[in-house]
Amino acid sequence: MTTRATHTADVIVIGGGTGGYGTALRAAALGLDVVLVERDKVGGTCLHRGCIPSKAMLHAAELVDGIAEARERWGVKATLDSVDWAALVATRDDIVARNHKGVEAHLAHAGVRVVRGTARLTGPRTVRVESVRTDSAPGTADRRTLRAHAQDARPHTDLESGVHDFSARRGIVLATGSRPRTLLGLEPDGQHIVTSDDALFAPGLPASVLVLGGGAIGVEYASFHRSMGAEVTLVEAADRIVPLEDADVSRHLTRGLRKRGIDVHAGARLLDTEVLDNGVRARVRTARGETRTVEAERLLVAVGRVPVTEGLGLAAAGLTTDERGFVVPADWNRLETAVPGIHVVGDLLPPPSLGLAHASFAEGLLVAETLAGLPPAPVDYAAVPRVTYSSPQTASVGLSETEARARGREVEVDTMPLTAVAKGMVHGRGGMVKVVAEAGAGQVLGVHLVGPNVSEMIAESQLIVGWDAEPSDVARHVHAHPTLSEAVGEVFLTLAGRGLHQQ
Ligand code: FAD
């Protein structure tokens, strides 16, 4: 049976990931009537297939690594029996499920009308939603079209089961996110050739993995599988892994991963692959021009992500994508497209947006406040931190040394190994701090960290870069002793001409 209804809302958000639900929560808090359309589960990629499950798994990986460290460095007579993948997955999924419930509760509490279905633009102010009721019997799909009205009561459950056309009084926000990119001839089969999505739901842990792609996702999965005992080969086409980071970050990370037994090949190309009964065989051309044959139980393709706009009806609203599939804002200060009232957030945005959950939250706040008539400050992408949660971790904010020089800045750089401070020696896992500042102890342009726990250390640096601080501003603040952060403080003291341990 099909029921139809027409509604109006102030704001219609399409996509319930971090960008979409962030927008919806802030808009509702500002008193706007918000409809959020999600075809799968609110929380999106980050909560269900990205940040949260992968970081839960990487936490387990750290515990496994800790057993080896305890035995080898600290005389703790511990051994690892085995990893119970099913138990690991159960804990991970419980964390995801509890977060999912939390997001649903926040949305309900804020009065956001969540509609489950697939949304399509039918014009610059209208959205149609077609959905299949989760409680429908097979074959009795219930199609609906949504339209949003401020004066509607909030029939949350009615919207769940109707056919709706929505029209927006203030604006429509596109937040449909991204999906894994695949390469021609490397179609994932979910078993031997997998994406980061498939890797989460695999039946067990592989004994060997070939990871294609040395960006954050590829490096994190390489690191995880190595901790779990797999033989890991990491292949990156660019001349270094994490190629968007400072070259010293790539160098230290490569060294750290190799020390752990990961076979890292940058500047390498996958020539061909053959699917075998129990895995894949791939030929890789290394940077030195040698051809290597790698056999692995699993080939994990992590070569980036592509924006999701299929079936979104962009043309009906008068919109297009660029050649890479991104929806490009005409006004970056408001994240508004060329069609007034249609805004875009999250992974749909091209650089300088970053394809990161926390960037999408910031974009959601900006758009919600814009739609509420406030004058929000644009997102300062240069001050958004970037983290790779591998072992070792990387965390950075601002410009790399090369970027700063390419922009014609005269720079001064200082670096320090983490093992130069006592806490770094306790950790015994290497790492470094690098600060890029304008020459003459001028503005801090970038901070780059590699090592244990640096994901938790980057916060002060994002304020330093975001507040256009100079080394002397930082150097007068005292860091706790003994901490890893002391190394950050030391580098700023040195740049301010007051270093204790460096000349
Ligand atoms: P998404 O989260 O992709 O949400 C889009 C939503 O829109 C989806 O739920 C989808 O179902 C829905 N949708 C799509 N089309 C329609 C339609 N037509 N109608 C209705 N609904 C629709 N970022 C970090 O900051 N930190 C990390 O540690 C991190 N780790 C990651 C690890 C992995 C393995 C991956 C894959 C990503 C990771 N990311 C991380 C990136 C982060 O997940 C994304 O940047 C973020 O999820 C983007 O949010 P979004 O709202 O733009 O899109």
* 481 included as an active-site residue: yes
Whether residues 354 and 284 share a domain: the answer is: no
Report CA(390)–ligand 1 centroid distance (Å).
Answer: 20
User: Which helix (H) or strand (E) element contains residue 294?
Assistant: strand 291-296
SS (H, E, C) 205-241: CCCEEEEECCCHHHHHHHHHHHHCCCEEEEEECCCCC
**Domain C-terminal end among 316, 348, 374:** 374
Q: Which of 153-162, 255-264, 334-343 has the lowest mean pLDDT?
A: 153-162
- On the question of pLDDT at 439 being above 60, the answer is yes
Give counts: helices (H), strands (E), the chain: 14, 22
**What is the pLDDT at residue 502?**
57
Flag whether 370 is in a domain.
yes
Return the percentage of the chain with pLDDT > 90, whole number: 89
- On the question of pLDDT at 142 being above 90, the answer is no
**What is the pLDDT at residue 160?**
54
Q: Which of 89-98, 141-150, 188-197, 303-312 has the lowest mean pLDDT?
A: 141-150
What is the spatial distance between Cα 316 and Cα 340, in angstroms, rounded to a whole number? 14
**What is the pLDDT at residue 64?**
98
Helix (H/G/I), strand (E/B), else coil: 403: helix
Residue 127 maps to which CATH number? 3.50.50.60
What is the spatial distance between Cα 248 and Cα 396, in angstroms, rounded to a whole number? 11
Q: Can you point out the beta strands (E) in 326-417?
A: 342-344, 386-388, 393-398, 411-417
**What is the pLDDT at residue 130?**
87
CA angle at 130 for the pair 126 and 134, rounded to the nearest 5°: 140
Atom of ligand 1 minimally distant from the CA of 44: 9
Whether residues 397 and 477 share a domain: the answer is: yes
Within 8 A by CB and 6+ apart from 255, the residues are 430
Q: Which of 24-33, 100-109, 133-142, 429-438 has the lowest mean pLDDT?
A: 133-142
- On the question of pLDDT at 233 being above 60, the answer is yes
Helix (H/G/I), strand (E/B), else coil: 69: helix
Whether residues 267 and 351 share a domain: the answer is: no
Atom of ligand 1 minimally distant from the CA of 349: 52
Flag whether 407 is in a domain.
yes
Give how many domains the chain has, as a whole number: 3
Within 8 A by CB and 6+ apart from 309, the residues are 176, 321, 325, 327, 348
Record the tokens describing residue 229, joined without a space.
């005992």
Report CA(131)–ligand 1 centroid distance (Å).
Answer: 20
- Residues whose beta carbon lies within 6 Å of some atom of ligand 1: 14-20, 37-40, 44-46, 49-51, 54-55, 118-119, 175-178, 196, 217, 308, 312, 346-347, 355-358, 360
Flag whether 276 is in a domain.
yes
Q: What is the pTM of this model?
A: 0.94
Helix (H/G/I), strand (E/B), else coil: 367: helix
383-394: buried (b, 16+ CB within 10 Å) or exposed (e) per residue? bbbbbbbbbbbb
Within 8 A by CB and 6+ apart from 29, the residues are 110
**What is the pLDDT at residue 143?**
44
**What is the pLDDT at residue 133?**
53
Give the residue among 193, 225, 195, 186 at the shortest CA–CA distance from 208. Answer: 225
